[in-house]
Amino acid sequence: MISFSKKTLFILMILSMTFAALSLCIVDIDISENWKVLLDKTSIFISFTISAILFMLYYVKKVKEDKNKDDEE
């Protein structure tokens, strides 16, 4: 598995959240559209949000591992 540093994970997490917010701002959502069209328009937002959540979980895991390592020493 690829191992990222905490700094890299934090930057990737921030970039993913930024791109998710920007992609949602660009989308023109009309209330009258059906759910398939809305899902198609928001698919980029969904993918960036999922990647941000995954980077966040991996970042928290990495921080906890480093904290436990420091506590043991």
Q: How many CA atoms lie within 13 A of 30 on its CB side?
A: 5
pLDDT in tens, 3-20: 888 899 999 999 999 999
How far is 4 from 10, CA to CA, in rounded Å?
10
Burial class from Cβ neighbours inside 10 Å (0-12, 13-18, 19+) for residue 67 reads exposed
pTM, entire model: 0.79
Low-confidence ranges of the chain (pLDDT < 50): none
Q: Which DSSP category does 32 fall into?
A: T
How far is 36 from 6, CA to CA, in rounded Å?
38
